[in-house]
Homo-oligomer: A and B are copies of this chain.
Amino acid sequence: ERDKYENNDVAGVVTGLAWTSVGGDILFIESILSKGKGLSITGNLGMVMKESATIALEYIKANAENLGIKQRVLDEYKVHIHVPEGATPKDGPSAGITMLTSLVSTFSQRKVKSKIAMTGEITLRGKVLPVGGIKEKILAAKRANIKEIILCEANKKDIEEIKESYVKGLKFHYVSEMKEVLEIALTKQKVQNAKKL
Say whether A148 faces chain B, with CB atoms less than 8 Å apart.
Answer: no
A80–B124 touching, CB < 8 Å: yes
B62–A34 touching, CB < 8 Å: yes
Number of chain A residues close to chain B: CB under 8 A = 46
B82–A92 touching, CB < 8 Å: no
Q: Which of A10, A71, A82, A195 has the most CB of B within 10 A?
A: A82
Interface on A for B, CB 8 Å cutoff?
6, 10, 12-13, 28, 30-36, 40, 42-44, 47-48, 51-52, 54-55, 58-59, 61-62, 71, 75, 80, 82, 84-87, 92-93, 96, 121, 123-127, 129, 132, 195
- What's the Cα separation between A104 and B160 when bound, in Å? 42
Which of B30, B35, B44 makes the CB contact (< 8 A) with A125?
A: B30
Taken together, the copies of this chain in the complex come to 6
B30–A123 touching, CB < 8 Å: yes
Q: Which of A28, A34, A121, A127 has the most CB of B within 10 A?
A: A34
B123–A62 touching, CB < 8 Å: no
B93–A124 touching, CB < 8 Å: no
- What's the Cα separation between A51 and B45 when bound, in Å? 11
CB distance from A77 to the nearest CB of B (A): 9
A33–B48 touching, CB < 8 Å: no
CB distance from A194 to the nearest CB of B (A): 13
B33–A55 touching, CB < 8 Å: no
B35–A61 touching, CB < 8 Å: yes
A34–B58 touching, CB < 8 Å: yes
